[in-house]
């Protein structure tokens, strides 16, 4: 009942380990979650180690040695001394010594979800038959709790997808149509005036509306993307950089995204874009702050176009020993692209960084 009291999967998994450690009187406990292929551990949650100990150990185990026995053959294992088993892989540096061991697989809907690992029974004793029975019984109850938590997560995901579909539909059927109608009305208004200044202002407003329509359409595309808000996001990473540098810039930079950014940019290219924006805004902070900055990321037309504008004194002569712009140029050239730093007509500097998108 305690295991099933929460429907958040990470909470359920942590509660399983704590309960197992308490049931069999173990010093340390861990729960390894298998990857989709069932060949290695993709997650490893622990009880008994503090944060400093976990950091000192380093990378979490993937399922070698004794831990891997349960992956290859998902049956309970009980050992009086880990180090005496022929498959013992040893411990990494800074890992506390462990002796007695009890391992139990976790089955969910007939498939192995992960493994429960318990070590060092308190008092220096070894784990008993009763301990093994308790751990196996707990694993059965845990399977139900895990399944319920996963079903609840899936239900929330479906609700989120439904909300995104509704938002995308409203944006397309209402917002875009109103913007389009407003643009047509402004175009008709141009014919009613002979004042060139007014004509210019109206045309600028029409161009701004066209840009807004493209941005809304890009947002709709992202909302329809099944991987939306899952995993790394270039948008979120760039916005985080802006928030991080707000103090040194004097104000939070404005970001504008054109096209399906998160679905077009991934992997190494995403990391490169984030690095370029960080370096570019850092340069603004060093040479033009306090200054308002604006970042535009455009992925339409088969190329990635990144511009960073500031309202500082404009580009000066290259500084001896300066590596910021040199690094930005090197990143573009490595991808077959270009980098330009130019003065803006109304003051300030503009960094233009563009590379071809993968075909």
Fold held by 3-152:
Beta-Lactamase (3.30.450)
For residues 153 and 258, the model is more confident at 258
Report the distance separating Cα 128 and Cα 41, nearest Å. Answer: 26
Q: At what angle do helices 196-224 and 177-190 cross, to 10 degrees?
A: 160
Nearest residue to 248 (alpha-carbon basis) of 294, 293, 286: 286
Q: What pLDDT sits at residue 317?
A: 67
Write phi, then psi, for 74 (nearest 5 degrees): -70, 75
As given in the structure block, the two tokens for residue 1 are 């009942």
How confident is residue 290, by pLDDT bands cut at 50, 70 and 90? Answer: low
Of 255, 247, 267, 263, which Cα lies nearest the Cα of 293? 255
Give the count of alpha carbons within 13 A of 67, CB side only. 26
In tens, the pLDDT along 201-250 reads 999 998 888 888 877 877 777 666 655 445 567 888 898 888 888 888 88
Q: How many CA atoms does the CB half-sphere of 344 hold within 13 Å? A: 17
* pLDDT value for 289: 65
Alpha helices in the chain (DSSP H): 9-24, 51-57, 65-72, 129-170, 177-190, 196-224, 234-244, 246-249, 261-264, 267-287, 324-334
The secondary structure of residue 108, as a DSSP letter, is E
Is residue 318 scored above 70 in pLDDT?
A: no
> What is the rounded average pLDDT of the residues 153-173?
77
Q: Is the pLDDT of residue 320 over 70?
A: no
How confident is the model at residue 226, as a pLDDT? 52
Per the prediction, the chain carries an average pLDDT of 83
Whether the domain at 3-152 and the domain at 234-356 fall into the same CATH topology: no
Residue with tokens 């509306």: 209
Instruction: Indicate yes or no: pTM above 0.85.
Output: no
Residue burial 151-186, b: 16+ Cβ < 10 Å; e: rest: eeeeeeeeeeeeebeeebeebeeeebeebeeebeee
The residue with greater pLDDT, 324 or 30, is: 30
Give 35's contacts (C-beta < 8 A, 6+ positions apart).
41, 42
Considering the domain 234-356, what is its CATH architecture? 2-Layer Sandwich (3.30)
Write the burial class of residue 205 (CB in 10 Å: 0-12 exposed, 13-18 middle, 19+ buried).
middle
What mean pLDDT do residues 95-115 have?
A: 87
pLDDT score of 91: 78
Place of tokens 């980098």: 339
Say whether pLDDT at 271 is over 60.
Answer: yes
Supply 189's token pair. 């208004």
Residues whose CB is less than 8 angstroms from the CB of residue 91 and which lie 6 or more positions away in sequence, other chains included? 97, 98
Domain boundaries, the chain: 3-152, 155-224, 234-356
Distance of alpha carbon 93 from its chain centroid, rounded? 29
Helix (H) or strand (E) holding 104: strand 101-108
Please tell me the distance from the alpha carbon of residue 302 to that of residue 261, in angstroms, as a whole number.
Answer: 12
Residue 145 has φ and ψ, to the nearest 5°, of -65, -40
> Once rounded to an integer, what is the mean pLDDT over residues 191-204?
89
Residues above pLDDT 70, as percent of the chain: 92
Q: What mean pLDDT is predicted for residues 42-47?
A: 85
Structure tokens at 252: 């939070």
Integer angstrom CA distances of residue 260 from 77, 123, 171, 213, 235: 50, 60, 16, 13, 10
């Amino acid at each position: 009942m305690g295991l099933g009291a929460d429907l958040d999967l990470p909470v359920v998994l942590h509660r399983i380990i704590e309960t197992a450690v308490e049931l069999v009187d173990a010093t340390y406990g861990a729960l390894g979650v298998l990857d989709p292929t069932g060949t290695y551990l993709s997650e490893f949650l622990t009880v008994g180690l503090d944060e400093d100990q976990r950091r000192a150990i380093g990378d979490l185990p993937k399922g070698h040695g004794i831990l891997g026995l349960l992956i290859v053959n998902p049956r309970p294992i009980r050992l009086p001394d880990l180090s005496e088993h022929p498959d013992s892989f040893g411990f990494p540096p800074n890992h506390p010594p462990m002796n007695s061991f009890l391992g139990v697989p976790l089955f969910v809907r007939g498939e192995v979800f992960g493994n429960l690992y318990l070590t060092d029974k308190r008092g220096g004793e070894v784990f008993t038959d009763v301990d093994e029975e308790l751990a196996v019984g707990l694993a059965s109850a845990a399977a139900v709790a895990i399944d319920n938590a996963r079903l609840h997560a899936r239900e929330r995901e479906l609700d989120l997808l439904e909300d995104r579909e509704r938002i995308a539909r409203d944006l397309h059927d209402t917002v875009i149509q109103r913007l389009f109608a407003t643009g047509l009305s402004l175009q008709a208004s141009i014919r009613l005036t002979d004042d060139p200044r007014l004509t210019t202002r109206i045309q600028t407003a029409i161009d701004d509306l066209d840009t807004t329509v493209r941005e809304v359409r890009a947002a709709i595309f992202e909302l329809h993307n099944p991987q939306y808000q899952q995993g790394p996001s270039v948008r979120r990473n760039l916005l985080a950089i802006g928030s991080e540098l707000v103090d040194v810039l004097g104000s939070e930079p404005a970001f504008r995204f054109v096209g399906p950014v998160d679905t077009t940019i991934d992997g190494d290219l995403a990391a490169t874009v984030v690095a370029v924006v960080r370096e570019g805004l850092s340069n603004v902070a060093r040479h033009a702050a306090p200054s308002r900055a604006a970042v535009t990321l455009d992925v339409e037309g088969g190329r990635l176009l990144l511009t960073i504008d500031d309202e500082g004194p404009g580009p000066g002569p290259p500084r001896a020993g300066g590596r910021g712009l040199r690094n930005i140029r090197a990143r573009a050239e490595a991808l077959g692209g270009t980098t330009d730093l130019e003065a803006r007509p109304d003051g300030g500097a503009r960094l233009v960084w563009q590379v071809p998108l993968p075909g």
